[in-house]
Amino acid sequence: MIFARRKPLLALALGSAVVMALSGCTSYQPAPKSFQQATIQPYRLDSGDRLRVTVFDQPNLSNTYTVDQAGYISFPLVGQVPARGETLASLEGALATKLRQGYLRDPDVTIEVDRYRPVFVMGEVGRPGQYSYVPGMTVQNAVAVAGGFTARGNQRDVDVTRKINGRVLTGRTTISSTVLAGDTIYVRERLF
């Protein structure tokens, strides 16, 4: 009789242990709100971005400059200018301020992104690797550029790793989600 009472408890404990073990095997975490908010914020510069800087009436200063690994651009006359985390407008202002300090009276600086830093597509895709970012790109576009899903690829959702406010975050998003320059997309293997 005591064994009969313990059997349902044992089955319940065993079932709970299996569920906990399986949930521990996955690192599922839905994308935080900051993922979607980052896609509607002004573009933030980082290493690998190539910028087209134009200084009105100064052809010797107008050129393309790349944000280096330390997050700076090396600009004539003024030297290293911090660019990592800046918007285009804030970098324009910083460059104009530095040029105003003894070099030009009233510099008119405009900056455009000439080439964005790449996105990385990994996991169950035809050709995992590094690919050029295009504004408005979705996860599905990035996967298509990387050769599409393999036969085992999970086509419902993917894990995206993104740098937001200096922190690296990973979250699970749908394939229709917007991608940002520098994102790493990981297509998991589907279970069935």
What the chain holds in terms of domains, given with CATH numbers, is 28-41+117-187 (3.10.560.10), 50-115 (3.30.1950.10)
Task: Give me the tens of pLDDT residue by residue for the chain, a chain 192 residues long.
Answer: 444 455 554 444 444 444 444 444 445 577 778 777 888 889 999 999 999 999 999 999 999 999 999 999 999 999 999 999 999 999 999 999 999 998 899 999 999 999 999 999 999 999 999 999 999 999 999 999 999 999 999 999 999 999 888 888 899 999 999 999 999 999 999 887
pTM exceeds cut of 0.75: yes
Q: Are 182 and 162 within 8 A, CB to CB?
A: yes
Conformation bin of residue 159: beta by default, left when phi > 0, alpha when psi is -120 to 50: beta
65, containing H or E segment: strand 63-66
93: CB partners within 8 A, 6+ apart = none
Q: Helix %, strand %, coil % for the chain, to 5?
A: 25, 30, 40
Q: Are 31 and 177 within 8 A, CB to CB?
A: yes
Q: Are 137 and 117 within 8 A, CB to CB?
A: no
pLDDT of residue 19: 41
98, containing H or E segment: helix 88-100
Q: How many residues does the chain have?
A: 192
pLDDT of residue 12: 43
